[in-house]
Amino acid sequence: PRYQADLAASYNCLGALLEGLGRAADAEAAYRQALAVGERLAADHPAVPGYRDDLADSLNNLASLLDGLGRRADAE
């Protein structure tokens, strides 16, 4: 689980970096990879609230990106 948590965090950080560089499509892909890993981790270890917290951060980052792109329905 520790490796998976680090992997999800790395994808989330990569998404933020790419977003800052104006590479929205790549940032979206990185955030979605963070979500995929984070969702599995949270589902497999429901007793660890930190995994759900990290998942929420990734969801928030993706939603913020999509909202900024004018894709409000997707952001919701």
pLDDT on residue 52: 96
pLDDT on residue 58: 96
pTM for the model: 0.93
Across 17-43, b (16+ Cβ under 10 Å) vs e yields ebbeeeebeebbebbebbbebbbebbe
Q: Across the 76 residues of the chain, what is the mean pLDDT of every consecutive 10-residue run?
A: 96 98 98 97 96 96 97 95
